[in-house]
Structures are given as structure tokens and as C-alpha cells.
Amino acid sequence: MRIKPGTKGGNEPAASTGLPAQPRALPANIAMASVRIPLSQKVVRGVELHRQLRDLSFEPDRTRLIPIEDMPFADERLTSMGEMIMEADGGSLRTFSGNRAHENGWWPSRKRRRLQHWEGTAQRFALLALECDFTVEWAQTEPCLLRFPIGSTWYEWYADMLVSRFNGPDELWEIKRDERQLEDPEYRLKLAGAEEICRRIGIKFRLVMADEIFVDRFHRDNLELFASRRFVSVPPAHMRRFEAFALKNGPQTTYGELANAIDPACPSRGAAIIQGLTVRRRVEVDLRDTLTNRTPMTIH
């Protein structure tokens, strides 16, 4: 596996060099694994993807991520499983500014501290959810392109999301609107190849359906609200009240109690500050239910 920096160029990935003209033959157990399988709920939720090309003789190892400048070229055809192409600055490999088949745009992330380019409402909603997720350090859309051979065919897979968590391995997401987008056996084979490469380099591959991002409309509304407050200004006086309340009362509190403590004269302003502090990981709250003054919260 090689990582090489890309060069921004609209919707196209950076040019790739150094690949062998013909893909090398794969082990027999992998070549035989590319049989077409019927669509099922197992396939949709990724179970069969994990089994289709898995070779348990390879243990996860991040040292397989070798930058191109460090690649031992004399042994390249013997060691390379494929290429991972990324932007040198870690941004989106593909950028969107309209004129596409799907709704698209860009969205400034506070956690990532850069614009996130997205295509399709499911990818945008995933951005909102990850921005408010306490376990997530940051998330990057359109982070990389994987190019790899299966048998005599080369495949290309653009990851939809790279997620970095505080406790756990990095994740590469493939986001789908619904199950119908997985009906093509050849496409499922490509995802199986991407999943096996991710496993071997110690990255978790996730197939995420749009209906898994939100529990219901209340959850979606909460994420929209809290994410919209990610850049809210927190005056020093409000921050002092927030920290004094935590020292006096401990980390466990409720939405209404904390909002009143932050701004007794205007609790709604205190609630807005709580929402911004949630994105900054100073407050942890379950956003999957309707929010009330009695909603429990944890101060960090």
C-alpha cells in the first residue's frame, strides 16, 4: 500500500504514477472469492463484504502504509497491494461547487478547522452527526482514493469519510442512500476489496446507510441545531460561570440547570453556549431524544 500526495484539480483526483502496467496475479483464495452473491440484508449491512475477500493470514499492520518516497522500488511489485491517493494538506480530494447530479456543496467544520466538501444529503447529514459526536476528534470528507487490482481488473474507490476517534482506530466510510445502491455484484466486489485493504492497514471500513445516521426527525433537528452553534462565541464571564458550576456541583447536571447557571438573565443564551460547548467536547449529551430542561448532561 502506498500513500502519495495529490494535487487539487476540481473534481478529478491527482494523477497517479508508478503502478505496474498489468496487475499481479492474486493468491488463489482471493481470485476464487470474487464470485457474485445475491443481495441480502447481510450484504447490505456489510457482513458478507467482510467475508468475501478476507485473508486471515494478514494481520492488521499500519506499517503497510508506506509513503511513495519511502517505497523500496526494487520490491514494489512484490509488496504493493495498491495505492492510496490523498491531498498533501489532508483536505478533500474531490471538491464540489454545483453542476452535479446530486445536491452538493461545502460546509465549514470546527473540529477539522477547514471546509468539508460533500455530495448528497446523506454525506452532509453524516457531517452534522460527526461534528456533534463526543467520541469523534474530527472527520474529513472525500479523504482518499484507493486503486487496487482484483484478478485482472483495476478498481477505484473514493472514500466518503475519514473519521478519527479518540478511542479506536480510524474509520473510512462508504455512505449509501439505501439498499438499492448495492444491487450491483461488481460494485459489492469493489467494496469488499476496499474493506480488506482497510483491514490489513489497521483502518476500520464502515458501510453506513442514510437511515443509520439519524434515529428520527427529533435526532436530526437536534444535530442541526447543535452543529449550527459550533462557532458560537463564549464570553469569558459565561465560561467562568460554566466552570464554577462544574466545580461546585460536579459533572452531572441537566440542560435547564446548566443553561440557567451559565446565563441567569437569559437561559436561552446559556442553552446556545451549551450547544457550542458540545461540539467543543466540554459537554456530553445524548441528542437522540427530544431535549427538555430535564435532559441529563455531563460536563468535561
Is 59 or 251 the better-scoring residue by pLDDT?
Answer: 251
Q: What is the DSSP letter of 90?
A: S
For the chain, give the mean pLDDT: 83
Evaluate if residue 137 carries a pLDDT over 90.
yes
pLDDT of 95: 83
Q: What is the dihedral of CA 135, 141, 144, 150, to 10 degrees?
A: 90
**What H or E segment, with its residue span, contains residue 271?**
helix 267-279
Q: C-alpha angle 26/28/33, rounded to 5°?
A: 90
Confidence of residue 46 (pLDDT cuts 50, 70, 90): low
- Backbone torsions φ then ψ of 210, nearest 5 degrees: -60, -35
Confidence of residue 231 (pLDDT cuts 50, 70, 90): very high
The candidate with the shortest Cα–Cα distance to 175, out of 114, 218, 118, is 118
Half-sphere exposure of 272 (CA within 13 A, CB side): 12
pLDDT of 18: 38
pLDDT of 223: 96
Is 30 or 289 the better-scoring residue by pLDDT?
Answer: 289
Q: C-alpha angle 28/46/150, rounded to 5°?
A: 30
Evaluate if residue 3 carries a pLDDT over 70.
no
pLDDT of 80: 65
Q: C-alpha angle 32/35/39, rounded to 5°?
A: 150
Q: Of 14-23, 65-74, 204-213, 243-252, which has the strongest mean pLDDT?
A: 243-252
Evaluate if residue 4 carries a pLDDT over 50.
no
Q: What is the pTM of this model?
A: 0.79
- Backbone torsions φ then ψ of 69, nearest 5 degrees: -70, -20
pLDDT of 79: 54
Mean pLDDT to the nearest integer, 107-122:
93
Mean pLDDT to the nearest integer, 33-44:
43
The percent of the chain in helix, strand and coil, each rounded to the nearest 5, is: 35, 25, 40
**Which cell numbers hold the place of 157?**
474507490
Strands in 2-6's sheet, in edge-to-edge order, are: 66-67, 2-6, 83-87, 144-150, 153-158
Evaluate if residue 64 carries a pLDDT over 90.
no
Confidence of residue 55 (pLDDT cuts 50, 70, 90): confident
Q: What is the DSSP letter of 112?
A: T
pLDDT of 151: 85
pLDDT of 98: 66
**Which cell numbers hold the place of 156?**
477505484
CB atoms within 10 A of CB 241: 19
pLDDT > 90 fraction of the chain, expressed in percent and rounded: 58
Evaluate if residue 295 carries a pLDDT over 60.
yes
Tens-digit pLDDT profile for residues 144-166: 999 999 888 999 999 999 999 99
Is 227 or 8 the better-scoring residue by pLDDT?
Answer: 227
pLDDT of 229: 97
**Which cell numbers hold the place of 298?**
455531563
Is 104 or 231 the better-scoring residue by pLDDT?
Answer: 231
The candidate with the shortest Cα–Cα distance to 85, out of 127, 39, 146, 165, is 146
The candidate with the shortest Cα–Cα distance to 35, out of 155, 197, 193, 186, is 186
pLDDT of 261: 97
